[in-house]
């Protein structure tokens, strides 16, 4: 009885921690970065729960061409669409409540994480430290404070719930675990890694730990999970390489992505440990052959060491294997987009490290003090990072300050200034973006818009021509081509 009371109090502390860090989002606005496409200007979502909207959510077919923004159908997450529609049905387009729902889902995910880790480690203290770190890690702010990342927090609930039910021994636990897998995949396909994490956990809990024979036996036990994830994964890969993303996928090759794959692994690990100077987008780092080769050699050595000590240090192996499994789909081995190591990709990746860290810090009184200090430090960093997402200008100005070499931040800040009719500021931002990336076709297009407003049609035509040369299929540029006056 006392153990249950203690666990309940720990859950209440998790809820209080979530409120302390995230309650400020109630005053936040929609931002001009996917929020219009996903919610505020999405013709299906802003009508609430309707038969047409539900049909579109599951089919992704916009037969009547109602959608203003392209690309929203390039990822299959019907349950996420339904959650956005439900928000509109309940709260209208008041952004505060949409934000609060994100916070509630994130907190529920942390509670399921607590229940799972307590079951896994038989320790309420370890579970509390690990789930608190998940709750307030600064890299998770993007997933919670950004309305459009509802898919992260919603799939996160099912991810942790599935893990909990997968090691529970009640009558319907296995069915509930599989149901959560399916619901999670319908929320965000990136949790195709969940069956591998479940297999990893079951090997970790067995007496033979990570013996090859035990691993193969566990894989066979979860063959239907793996098949389900494979189907969703293939469908997602198909969608990512069709529609508006098709031209970008065609221009990207594994050879061009290869140098960034190994470096990305180390960038993610660095940001997990030192979560400062965070941004909604990061520039691809400058690299040379020696750096690329070194990053891959270091990875090989790391993987070898982790494999050798897997049975002597199973928690260490669990942490790195968990992280690596989650990293592989977003590493760049397969084309999933142009962004380099965004924070949101870490949302479920660090669970094993949180458990490892909590186990280490729970072993003595002074280490528990360090754990509390880290939780407070990360809470303070997250509280500050949450403020960055308060509105569009704050988000993009912050990005240009923390990551000044990232052209995407300058492009988006310029686009924001355009909406405010601050054309001089907009032009400066777009020129900065092009200076950083000569292939920044969206900034070229936006410069054409700015100069057209200023009635400088020769310059408008010049930048439009550059935009089309870089991305000949970019539809806004094609439309503008027909609107600009001829003869300039």
pLDDT of residue 109: 97
Collapse the DSSP code of 259 into the 3-class scheme (helix H, G, I; strand E, B; otherwise coil) and give the result. Answer: helix
Could you say which DSSP state residue 283 is in?
A: P
pLDDT of residue 32: 93
pLDDT of residue 249: 56
Rg of the chain over CA atoms, in angstroms?
23
* Tokens read off for 239: 């969608």
- Please tell me the distance from the alpha carbon of residue 11 to that of residue 132, in angstroms, as a whole number: 10
Inter-CA distances, 405 with 99, 283, 297, 356, 411, Å: 30, 6, 27, 35, 12
471 contacts 446 by C-beta, under 8 angstroms: no
* Tokens read off for 285: 């780092």
Inter-CA distances, 67 with 70, 72, 75, 238, 442, Å: 7, 9, 15, 21, 20
Regions in the chain scoring below 70 on pLDDT: 1-6, 62-65, 70, 207-211, 240-253, 335-338, 486-488
pLDDT of residue 335: 63
Domain 406-483 has CATH 3.40.50.10860: no
Domain ranges of the chain: 2-252+349-387, 406-483
pLDDT of residue 2: 42
Residues 156-175 pLDDT 10s: 999 999 999 999 888 889 99
Q: In terms of C-beta density within 10 A (0-12 exposed, 13-18 middle, 19 or more buried), how is residue 72 classed?
A: buried
pLDDT of residue 486: 63
**Strand runs labelled E in 349-453:** none
- 235's CB contacts (< 8 A; 6+ apart) are 76, 189
166 contacts 198 by C-beta, under 8 angstroms: yes
């Amino acid at each position: 009885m006392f153990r249950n009371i203690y666990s309940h109090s720990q859950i209440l502390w998790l809820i209080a921690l979530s409120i302390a860090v995230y309650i400020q989002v109630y005053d936040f606005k929609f931002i001009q970065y996917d929020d219009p496409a996903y919610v505020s200007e999405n013709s299906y979502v802003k009508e609430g729960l309707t038969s047409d909207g539900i049909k579109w959510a599951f089919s992704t077919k916009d037969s009547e061409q109602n959608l203003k923004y392209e690309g929203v159908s390039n990822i299959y997450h019907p349950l996420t669409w339904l959650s956005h529609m439900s928000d509109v049905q309940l709260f209208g387009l008041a952004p505060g409540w949409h934000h609060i729902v994100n916070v509630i889902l994130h907190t529920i995910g942390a509670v399921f994480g607590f229940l799972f880790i307590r079951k896994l480690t038989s320790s309420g203290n370890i579970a509390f430290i690990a789930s608190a770190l998940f709750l307030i890690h600064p890299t998770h702010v993007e997933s919670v404070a950004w309305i459009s990342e509802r898919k992260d927090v919603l799939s996160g609930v099912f991810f942790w719930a599935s893990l909990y039910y997968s090691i529970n021994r009640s009558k319907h636990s296995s069915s509930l675990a599989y149901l959560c897998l399916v619901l999670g995949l319908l929320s965000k396909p990136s949790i195709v890694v969940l069956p591998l994490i479940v297999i990893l956990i079951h090997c970790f809990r067995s007496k033979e730990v990570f013996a090859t024979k035990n691993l193969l036996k566990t894989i066979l036990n979860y063959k239907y999970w793996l098949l389900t994830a494979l189907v969703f994964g293939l469908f997602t890969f198909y969608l990512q390489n069709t529609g508006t993303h098709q031209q970008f996928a065609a221009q990207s090759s594994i050879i061009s992505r290869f140098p960034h794959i190994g470096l990305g692994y180390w960038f993610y690990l660095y940001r997990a440990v030192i979560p400062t100077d965070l941004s909604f987008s990061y520039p691809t780092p400058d690299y040379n052959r020696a750096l690329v080769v070194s990053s891959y050699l270091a990875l090989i050595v790391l993987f070898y060491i982790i494999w050798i000590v897997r049975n002597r240090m199973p928690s260490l192996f669990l942490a790195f294997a968990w992280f690596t499994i989650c990293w592989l789909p977003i590493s760049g081995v397969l084309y999933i987009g142009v962004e380099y190591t965004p924070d949101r990709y870490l949302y479920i990746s660090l669970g094993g490290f949180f458990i490892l860290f909590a186990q280490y810090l729970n072993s003595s009184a002074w280490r528990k003090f360090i754990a509390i200090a880290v939780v407070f430090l990360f809470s303070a960093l997250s509280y500050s990072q949450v403020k960055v997402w308060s509105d569009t200008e704050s988000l993009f100005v912050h990005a240009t300050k923390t990551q000044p070499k990232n052209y995407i931040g300058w492009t988006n800040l310029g686009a924001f200034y355009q909406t405010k009719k601050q054309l001089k500021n907009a032009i400066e931002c777009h020129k900065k973006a092009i200076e950083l990336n000569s292939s920044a076709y969206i900034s070229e297009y936006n410069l054409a818009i700015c100069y057209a407003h200023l009635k400088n049609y020769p310059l408008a035509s010049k930048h439009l021509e550059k935009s089309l040369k870089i991305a000949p299929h970019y539809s806004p540029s094609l439309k503008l081509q027909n609107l600009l006056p001829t003869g300039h």
